[in-house]
Chain A
Amino acid sequence: DAGVIQSPRHEVTEMGQEVTLRCKPISGHNSLFWYRQTMMRGLELLIYFNNNVPIDDSGMPEDRFSAKMPNASFSTLKIQPSEPRDSAVYFCASSLASGETQYFGPGTRLLVL
């Protein structure tokens, strides 16, 4: 079992650029979650999907952030335009169902200069 796969693992970009983070959940899992982790705010839930449908996006900071899940095996989190305050580690997690144990990917470390 490959676990949750995220790419890229590291991303350095300049302010104003578009950033796309990718996630492949564990096969058979129906729920997918995007989190952001910073020293100041800890782990924050951004959005989660159930059966590819966004259920709760109340954690998405602002309109610059968007997430999609076109199929059961792929999701993207996009930031456009990026700002230095978006610098954080972004985690994707998946679970069999929305209320069940979540398994986290290794994260994408984003640095916006």
Chain B
Amino acid sequence: GENVEQHPSTLSVQEGDNSIINCAYSNSASDYFIWYKQESGKGPQFIIDIRSNMDKRQGQRVTVLLNKTVKHLSLQIAATQPGDSAVYFCAERRGGRGFYFGSGTKLNVKP
């Protein structure tokens, strides 16, 4: 099937640095994208989303960029904090067929 490729699989950063996580998708029908944060023993938690008619969206310390030309999505976390340590997933919506998730990025923040 058409996968969502996410990288890196593991990211270690120093507290205060910026973090960038990337996803590459292949389905041109994908029109909505979400980033989730999953802490150990919990379900994924919504962070930020973006629709295909946008190329950038900002939240508190997080920015999502969408490049539809090359089918690339990224999550940027500014001034990363120890509380940001978790596994992050991108998810794409493919028309009416629900959401498909990347393989996850484990973010380790060193104090």
B41 to chain A, nearest CB (A): 8
Who on chain B is nearest to A100 by CB? B32
Question: How distant is the Cα of A103 from the Cα of B49 in the complex, in angstroms?
Answer: 13
List residues of chain A with CB within 8 A of the CB of B102: 42
Interface of A (DSSP majority class): strand
Question: How distant is the Cα of A4 from the Cα of B100 in the complex, in angstroms?
Answer: 20
Assess A104 versus B44: contact at CB under 8 Å? Given A45-B98, A55-B96.
Answer: yes
Asked if residues A42 and B104 are in contact (CB atoms below 8 Å), the reply is yes
List residues of chain A with CB within 8 A of the CB of B46: 101-103
A residues contacting the other copy or chain, number (CB 8 A): 21
Asked if residues A56 and B89 are in contact (CB atoms below 8 Å), the reply is no
Asked if residues B98 and A104 are in contact (CB atoms below 8 Å), the reply is no
Besides A48-B98, A105-B43, 8 other A-B contacts (C-beta < 8 A) = A43-B44, A44-B101, A45-B98, A55-B96, A98-B98, A99-B96, A102-B46, A103-B46
List residues of chain A with CB under 8 Å of any chain B CB: 4, 33, 42-45, 48, 55-56, 58, 91, 93, 98-99, 101-107
- In the A-B complex, the 9 residue pairs with the smallest Cβ-Cβ separation, listed nearest first, are A104-B43, A43-B101, A42-B103, A104-B44, A48-B98, A45-B98, A107-B43, A101-B46, A91-B43
A-B contact pairs, 9 of them (CB 8 A): A4-B43, A43-B44, A43-B104, A44-B101, A45-B101, A48-B98, A55-B98, A91-B44, A106-B42
